[in-house]
């Protein structure tokens, strides 16, 4: 029986996999901008004791994570499923 540690990638394998992955910069740039906006809104809400703004800005975080996941996903897999 293999443990969870045996199935983990070594750091060099992880770096090689990240280098080989095609990154769609449009989605990653949008995700970074959205995270920056969420961070600024949360800090503004907390410093001005505006709880509604701070909590509302937390709704941007899942959207930013989804955009980053789309940008880092396997582009070849999406192109193969698209009818030509």
- The reported pLDDT for the residue numbered 35 is 94
- Position 61 in a domain: yes
Q: How many Cβ atoms from other residues are within 10 Å of residue 32's Cβ?
A: 15
Question: Is 11 within a domain?
Answer: no
Q: What average pLDDT does range 45-60 have in this prediction?
A: 95
pLDDT for 1 beyond 60: no
The answer to whether residue 6 is domain-embedded is no
| pTM, to two decimals | 0.61
What does the pLDDT read at residue 12?
A: 80
14 lies in a domain?
A: no
Evaluate whether residue 13 is within a structural domain: no
The domain in which residue 59 lies consists of 22-81
Domains: count for the chain: 1
Phi-psi region for residue 49, left (φ > 0), alpha (ψ -120 to 50) or beta? left
pLDDT at 76: 59
């Amino acid at each position: 029986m293999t443990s969870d540690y045996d199935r983990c990638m070594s750091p060099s394998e992880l770096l090689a996999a990240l280098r080989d992955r095609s990154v769609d910069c449009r989605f990653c740039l949008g995700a970074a901008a959205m995270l920056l906006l969420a961070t600024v809104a949360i800090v503004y809400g907390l410093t001005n004791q505006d709880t509604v703004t701070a909590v509302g800005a937390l709704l941007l975080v899942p959207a930013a994570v989804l955009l980053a996941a789309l940008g880092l996903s396997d582009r070849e897999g999406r192109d193969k499923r698209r009818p030509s």
